[in-house]
A and B are shown apart, each in its own frame.
Chain A
Amino acid sequence: MTTVVQDFRYSMRMLGKNPGVTLIAVVALMLGIGLTTTMFSIVYGALFRGLPFEQAEHIMHLERNNLEDDIESMEVTLHDYRDWREQQSSFTDLAGFWQGTINISGNEGRPERYNGAFMAGDPFGILRVGALKGRTLQPGDDDLAAPMVAVIGYDVWQNRYDGRDDAIGSIIRVNGEPTEIVGVMPEGFAFPMSEEVWVPMRVDIDTITRGEGMTLEVYGRLNAGVSVDQAAAEFATIANRLAMEYPESNEGVGAVMKPYTEEYIGDEVSMLLFTMLAAVFLVLLIACANVANLLLARAVQRSKEVAVRSALGATRARVIGQFLTETFAVTIVGAVFGLAIAWLGVRLFNNAIVDTDPPFWIDIRIDLVAIAFVMTLVVIATVLAGVFPAIRASGADINEVLKDESRGSSSLRIGKMSKALVTAEIALSCGLLVAAGLMIKSVVQLRTIDYAFHVDVATARVGLFPADYPDQERRVQFFDELTGRLAAQPGVAAAALGTALPGLGSGGNRFGVEGQVYAEDSDYPLTRWAAVTPGYFETFGLAVREGGRDFTVQDTEANLPVAIVNETFAQKFFPGESPIGRRIRVGASESEEPWRTIVGVAPDMMMQGIGNNDTGEEGIYVPVAQEDQRFMSIIVRGENASMALAPVMRDVVLAIDPDLPLYWVNTLDERIAEATWFFNVFGVLFMVFGGAALFLGAVGLYGVMSFAVTQRTQEVGIRMALGANHTDVIKLIMKQGLWQLGIGLTAGLGIAALLSRGLEVVLYEVEPWDPMLFAFVAMILAVAGLAASFIPARRAAAVDPVVALRYE
């Protein structure tokens, strides 16, 4: 112990004696450990912390698949849910839910819209979560004859009821139906994802044909001692039984189960997060390589000290221990600052995603797990950065070092190690910079989109429920009145409604063109789809192309079914001809939708959604009056600032229906920014990683070149004595740097190709293997590397040959 303390004290003294080296090492490790811990905390919080419930690892998500039809994931029909629940024994019970809008209105405040969950079974019992006030939903609440009840979230209780106890038992209107509040959930509870109000799901299953109707997300808690494999085997048996019993609806249908949180993060996001974690580990590796290089240089300078220690009886292990203690001391200091960086990084990340409505269990913070991770990194970094220098320093021939005759040969060996390390640094930096470049390019593409339509329009969302709007006629009447009243408001230039907004994605469906023959249902092409009111295009500052027309108030259910297609649709499905007058039908062979006559061609309006690379731009529009819809986006373009009309929009809605809340009130560009947060946040993260990598790579190369120059001072003197001029010396030194650069860049571009594959999901309008970007990054690194080599080379060339020849 005394030895360790003694070594530690000596280490601290050595660090103090070399403030420059210590500073660079601490900064490198601070960046490496800080960024790695930030990313680890994000990954851990998103993927591994799990649900904040008792034995949450036993809570599984269940769904169906049909591999014969290439369907890997399907929600569970009501009949299958009921049969699974009755026939299974692996889980304590099963529960189901679907998520949707819940409008609350009542005397206590204006109507509000919440994220709601319609729950089946004993949903809270399975989770083993109780109410903070009152009670949770219970079996029996979903009986059709039972009084309607709701459980509200903590924030709703605080914001709408000021946390009063008399909220329990009060009667409110939930989606138009009188409902009693029976409980308040604890703060932070937002199961299934980010829900705020829970009501029982009340469906008369006997009125629904098997295989049809609504579908559920299902979850359950595994019984003690039952493994996932055992449960899966039981559900396979049940699925086979159902397939035999109900071949019409269940043939080929299997059951799939996985830990609950896995279902909601998704493979692509998981891959992205792991890619980023791998990327940030590269930053740590670069930092370790930097420190190792600095320590190697110090080891050479201290070879005589080591030889003296050895001559005085220090064992090799003792010498290695001394060097590792010094590395440990540097790493600990770097880790402390790194932890501060991680704290800041996590804070910034949480701020960046706060408006994105992340799943409630995602809890990203610096806690004991993160601190344990940092301690692990300290050990890893100490070993990675310290072992090579320690072994090299302790392995020199004492006799030769003391005679000072082996300096050249031993330094040569260490020099090779340094070169290898810095070459690896360049390779890793290259990989990270390409990844950062791809992300930056994506963000730039996003921020510089030249929208063909107005994005400064004010938008909002409204939803109608059967209790107040039981049929299509009532709903269409509401939408007509809303549009008319909005358009008549002072300051409104144009107003319209639509099921979808440009740039944010629309629903998709298969369709057929009249006269075309499709052998299979899967041969029917896919298209985007939206229901809109007359004036939709004009509100965005666009017009239907010449030769066609916009929808009118005459396009009602009673008249000819019509559609407007966009330009991509027209070019793709009616190349070289006008689609006006042709007929299309949504759905495949068994579609009961009407044939619609195309009456116009509209400009493309990013119906597929920004950042969606999976489908094409083609899309069709149908009149709201001919397509029954309950939820609608409102679009208002003002004569001046559109958002100044937000209160007007709300007043108009309330004037028509005082119980109807207006929500998602934003300009379109704000909505687009929210929808594309993913690109911005992860883009910034990668930019930080890339910047750190570039900085560390350049510092590393500079350090090695600088060390090499010091080591070669005498050689430079000899060469100058033999006639080498400044240029010759600069060439000599830079040649070494260029070799390292060349090898590092070649390997780095390979790493970049691998990393960019993992990033495909977050790239917008950027090819993962963008040759220009790869070349640009190689150029940036080459410039940084050349600069890092040139400075020491110039220093070498300025050496006085007389001094250099005397240099030892």
Chain B
Amino acid sequence: MTAGNGSLITLQNVAKVFYTDELETHALAGIDLEIRENEYVAIAGPSGCGKTTLLSILGLLDSPSSGTYTLAGRDVSSLSNRERAAVRNEQIGFIFQAFNLIGDLTVAENVDLPLSYRGVHAAERQTRVEEALERVGMAHRMKHYPSQLSGGQQQRVAVARAIAGRPLILLADEPTGNLDSKNGGAVMELLTELHADGATIGMVTHDPRYAESAQRAVHLFDGHVIDESSAIYDTNPGLAVAAG
């Protein structure tokens, strides 16, 4: 489900301004960005550069102050809250730095959550939950609670939750930020495998090592795209980022 030219996400001249008391903070300014289907893009930069804000806009958790955002050929810049929720639910999968599993729900129930909001039939939901957990190697902990899992395991469950709904794109916000290097490496490996299987991924990271594992990296500084790294995978040229 692309715009027809292979472009899944297109941001044009997107800006985000935060107002606090008398202060006006430009978190993002003149961002143009395109992410193609099955592309793996890293959004990198130092703390406070606007990475997470950009990811929030991409994930429809936030809306741009100006500019347009086209997702799968549809302008999603000015949707209602209800429409945005539906788009998030059906087309976007989130992976958070802090895992953000719900402590009161079991592993299976956590993974089932986006499907339940979508109104998928119970039998199909169960199949999809099992498949997703199988995919991340956590099917054996289905009935456990998050507190019974290690950090690495919790993040794998979070990945399963993100992919269970078969979204158009996975958005990962510092997915290794709360993990040690071993578990961090395992999660990155999992994302690479998912990409290899056809997933489109947008990942925010401040770690250059992990940024390099993506096909391309977009570097932000003070809300502007200042650079883009070389494509690592020549087979999938999708880079179309320009500084605003």
A residues near B (Cβ < 8 Å) are 408-409, 412, 714-715, 717-726, 728, 800-802, 805
Residues of B within 8 A of A720 (CB): 61, 85, 88
Q: Is B149 an interface residue (CB 8 A)?
A: no
Residues of A within 8 A of B104 (CB): 412
A408 CB to closest chain B CB, in angstroms? 4
Residues of A within 8 A of B165 (CB): 723
The answer to whether A723 touches B82 (Cβ under 8 A) is no
The answer to whether B56 touches A802 (Cβ under 8 A) is yes
B79 CB to closest chain A CB, in angstroms? 12
Contact among B61, B101, B161 with A801 in the assembled complex (CB-CB below 8 Å):
B61
The answer to whether A726 touches B81 (Cβ under 8 A) is yes
What are the 5 tightest A-B residue pairs by CB atom distance, in nearest-first order? Answer: A723-B89, A725-B85, A408-B103, A722-B114, A723-B117
Q: Is B90 an interface residue (CB 8 A)?
A: yes
Chain B, range 146-167, C-beta contacts under 8 Å to A = 147, 161, 165
Interface size on B, residues (CB 8 A): 25
CA separation between A802 and B86, bound complex, in Å?
Answer: 16
User: Contacts A801-B61, A802-B61; is A722 near B113 (CB within 8 Å)?
Assistant: yes
Residues of A within 8 A of B61 (CB): 720-721, 801-802, 805
The answer to whether A723 touches B118 (Cβ under 8 A) is yes
The answer to whether B100 touches A714 (Cβ under 8 A) is yes
The answer to whether A805 touches B103 (Cβ under 8 A) is no
The answer to whether A409 touches B62 (Cβ under 8 A) is no
| Residue on B nearest A407 in the bound complex, by CB | B103
CA separation between A805 and B118, bound complex, in Å?
Answer: 21
The answer to whether B96 touches A724 (Cβ under 8 A) is no
CA separation between A769 and B22, bound complex, in Å?
Answer: 63
The answer to whether B117 touches A718 (Cβ under 8 A) is no
Residues of A within 8 A of B40 (CB): none
Contact among B100, B103, B117, B147 with A724 in the assembled complex (CB-CB below 8 Å):
B117
The answer to whether B103 touches A722 (Cβ under 8 A) is no
Q: Is B94 an interface residue (CB 8 A)?
A: yes
Residues of B within 8 A of A805 (CB): 61, 96, 100
CA separation between A718 and B117, bound complex, in Å?
Answer: 13
B62 CB to closest chain A CB, in angstroms? 5
Contact among A714, A715, A722 with B117 in the assembled complex (CB-CB below 8 Å):
A722
Chain B, range 88-119, C-beta contacts under 8 Å to A = 88-90, 94, 96, 100-104, 113-114, 117-118
| Residue on B nearest A409 in the bound complex, by CB | B147
Q: Is B184 an interface residue (CB 8 A)?
A: no
User: Contacts A801-B61, A802-B62, A805-B61; is A723 near B90 (CB within 8 Å)?
Assistant: yes
Q: Is B50 an interface residue (CB 8 A)?
A: no
Residues of B within 8 A of A728 (CB): 85, 117
Residues of B within 8 A of A801 (CB): 61
B21 CB to closest chain A CB, in angstroms? 16
The answer to whether B96 touches A722 (Cβ under 8 A) is no
Residue with the greatest number of chain B CB neighbours at <10 A, chosen from A409, A718, A721, A726: A721
Chain B, range 112-129, C-beta contacts under 8 Å to A = 113-114, 117-118
The answer to whether B102 touches A412 (Cβ under 8 A) is no
The answer to whether A718 touches B89 (Cβ under 8 A) is no
Residues of B within 8 A of A412 (CB): 103-104
Residue with the greatest number of chain B CB neighbours at <10 A, chosen from A714, A726, A805: A805
Contact among B59, B86, B147 with A725 in the assembled complex (CB-CB below 8 Å):
B86
B214 CB to closest chain A CB, in angstroms? 22
Residues of A within 8 A of B56 (CB): 802
Question: Chain B, 57-79, contact with A by CB distance < 8 Å: what is the 0/1 string?
Answer: 00101100000000000000000
The answer to whether A408 touches B147 (Cβ under 8 A) is yes
B42 CB to closest chain A CB, in angstroms? 20
A–B pairs, 10, beta carbons within 8 Å: A721-B88, A722-B89, A722-B113, A722-B114, A723-B88, A724-B85, A725-B81, A725-B82, A725-B86, A725-B117
Residues of A within 8 A of B100 (CB): 714, 717-718, 721, 805
CA separation between A718 and B82, bound complex, in Å?
Answer: 16
A685 CB to closest chain B CB, in angstroms? 43
The answer to whether B88 touches A722 (Cβ under 8 A) is yes
CA separation between A721 and B102, bound complex, in Å?
Answer: 13
Residue with the greatest number of chain B CB neighbours at <10 A, chosen from A408, A722, A725: A722
B83 CB to closest chain A CB, in angstroms? 9
The answer to whether A723 touches B86 (Cβ under 8 A) is yes
B89 CB to closest chain A CB, in angstroms? 2
User: Contacts A723-B118, A726-B82, A802-B62; is A718 near B102 (CB within 8 Å)?
Assistant: yes
A188 CB to closest chain B CB, in angstroms? 65
Residue with the greatest number of chain A CB neighbours at <10 A, chosen from B85, B88, B118, B161: B85
CA separation between A368 and B161, bound complex, in Å?
Answer: 66
CA separation between A719 and B96, bound complex, in Å?
Answer: 12
| Residue on B nearest A717 in the bound complex, by CB | B100
CA separation between A388 and B94, bound complex, in Å?
Answer: 39
B115 CB to closest chain A CB, in angstroms? 9
Residues of B within 8 A of A802 (CB): 56, 61-62
CA separation between A132 and B124, bound complex, in Å?
Answer: 95
Residues of A within 8 A of B103 (CB): 408-409, 412
Question: What 8 new A-B contacts, CB under 8 Å, besides A720-B61, A721-B88, A723-B90?
Answer: A719-B113, A721-B96, A723-B89, A723-B117, A723-B118, A725-B85, A802-B61, A805-B96
B38 CB to closest chain A CB, in angstroms? 23
Residues of A within 8 A of B82 (CB): 725-726
B53 CB to closest chain A CB, in angstroms? 8
| Residue on A nearest B161 in the bound complex, by CB | A722
CA separation between A726 and B89, bound complex, in Å?
Answer: 13
CA separation between A688 and B102, bound complex, in Å?
Answer: 43
CA separation between A715 and B61, bound complex, in Å?
Answer: 14
A71 CB to closest chain B CB, in angstroms? 65
Residues of B within 8 A of A725 (CB): 81-82, 85-86, 117
CA separation between A166 and B117, bound complex, in Å?
Answer: 95
B169 CB to closest chain A CB, in angstroms? 14
CA separation between A724 and B102, bound complex, in Å?
Answer: 14
CA separation between A97 and B81, bound complex, in Å?
Answer: 84
Residues of B within 8 A of A714 (CB): 100
A605 CB to closest chain B CB, in angstroms? 67
Residues of A within 8 A of B114 (CB): 722-723
Residues of A within 8 A of B85 (CB): 720, 723-726, 728
A326 CB to closest chain B CB, in angstroms? 29
CA separation between A726 and B101, bound complex, in Å?
Answer: 20
Residues of B within 8 A of A715 (CB): 102
B171 CB to closest chain A CB, in angstroms? 9
CA separation between A316 and B209, bound complex, in Å?
Answer: 47
Residues of A within 8 A of B161 (CB): 722
B226 CB to closest chain A CB, in angstroms? 24
Residue with the greatest number of chain B CB neighbours at <10 A, chosen from A720, A725, A728: A725
CA separation between A714 and B104, bound complex, in Å?
Answer: 13
Question: Chain B, 187-201, contact with A by CB distance < 8 Å: what is the 0/1 string?
Answer: 000000000000000
Residues of B within 8 A of A800 (CB): 62
A418 CB to closest chain B CB, in angstroms? 14
| Residue on B nearest A724 in the bound complex, by CB | B117
A743 CB to closest chain B CB, in angstroms? 18
A22 CB to closest chain B CB, in angstroms? 29
CA separation between A176 and B101, bound complex, in Å?
Answer: 95
A748 CB to closest chain B CB, in angstroms? 27
CA separation between A714 and B101, bound complex, in Å?
Answer: 10
The answer to whether B94 touches A722 (Cβ under 8 A) is yes
B114 CB to closest chain A CB, in angstroms? 4
